[in-house]
Amino acid sequence: MLNNSTTPTINLLIVDDHAMFREGLARSLEKQSDLNIVGQVSSSTEALAVLDQSGATMVLLDVDLGSERAVDFVMAARRKGFDGQILIVTAGASDQEAVQLIQAGVSGILHKHHSTEILCGTIREIANGEVCLEKEYLGPLFRSVNRLRPPGRPKLAERERMVLRLILQGLTNRQIGERLEVGEGAIKSTLRQVFSKLGVRTRSQVVKVVLEQYRDQL
């Protein structure tokens, strides 16, 4: 479906080895005016082969790809220079797999049992720079963090720590603003300060740095 509004189009590449699910998902997402399916493949090998030419800005990736591992695709895509978002859409992932995927730089993990409406909302949030994780994976992620802290790390202000705590709970900027009773613009301003302090550019990068270096402050 063509997007006649001013909303940017999100170009999606679907990677899932279950043809019925993959094709059904593509049909459902194509009904959204701002979502464009640029390809659907059954393996990470196929996905890597078409990634550059597809024009994808986001990859919807299953964990279970037969003999291939989703984390290998993520790392290979980054080595190829793919700077779009990667959303894991899966029936389930082990704690170890989830941690590896998050550390490799995925922007979210979402279960397949959610409705198409929730999936579309998650896609849009991630396209807007959010990180969306099923809460069950936060515990393993926290436990995986190396607790050795580098010297000389920048100090975070209390407001910055409050915002980061809520980001780690999976809240969006709007939800954080509602929780702290401030405007969404104030949250974005706080995040810009955090990005500058930590030397990062994306929300997923800030989550990784915070978990590795600032968990003791939160």
Number of CB atoms found within 10 A of residue 169's CB: 13
Note the Cα 150 to chain centre separation in Å: 26
Taking Cα atoms as reference points, which of 61, 45, 49 lies closest to residue 13? 61
* Residue-wise pLDDT tens digits, 63-81: 988 788 898 899 999 888 8
Taking Cα atoms as reference points, which of 58, 54, 101 lies closest to residue 208? 101
The sheet carrying 58-61 orders its strands as 35-41, 10-15, 58-61, 85-90, 108-111, 132-133
- According to the model, what pLDDT value does residue 64 have? 85
- According to the model, what pLDDT value does residue 2 have? 45
- According to the model, what pLDDT value does residue 135 have? 78
- According to the model, what pLDDT value does residue 152 have? 60
- According to the model, what pLDDT value does residue 180 have? 92
Q: Give the span between the Cα atoms of 67 and 79, in whole angstroms.
A: 21
Q: Give the span between the Cα atoms of 41 and 23, in whole angstroms.
A: 10
DSSP 8-state class, residue 204: H
- According to the model, what pLDDT value does residue 205 have? 81
- According to the model, what pLDDT value does residue 29 have? 95
Residues in the chain predicted with pLDDT less than 50, given as ranges, are 1-2, 4, 146-149
Q: Give the span between the Cα atoms of 60 and 88, in whole angstroms.
A: 6
Question: Whole-angstrom distance between the N-terminal and C-terminal Cα of the chain?
Answer: 44
The two structure tokens encoding residue 135:
């809460």
132 sits in which H/E element: strand 132-133
- According to the model, what pLDDT value does residue 157 have? 86
- According to the model, what pLDDT value does residue 105 have? 84
- According to the model, what pLDDT value does residue 7 have? 67
- According to the model, what pLDDT value does residue 33 have? 92
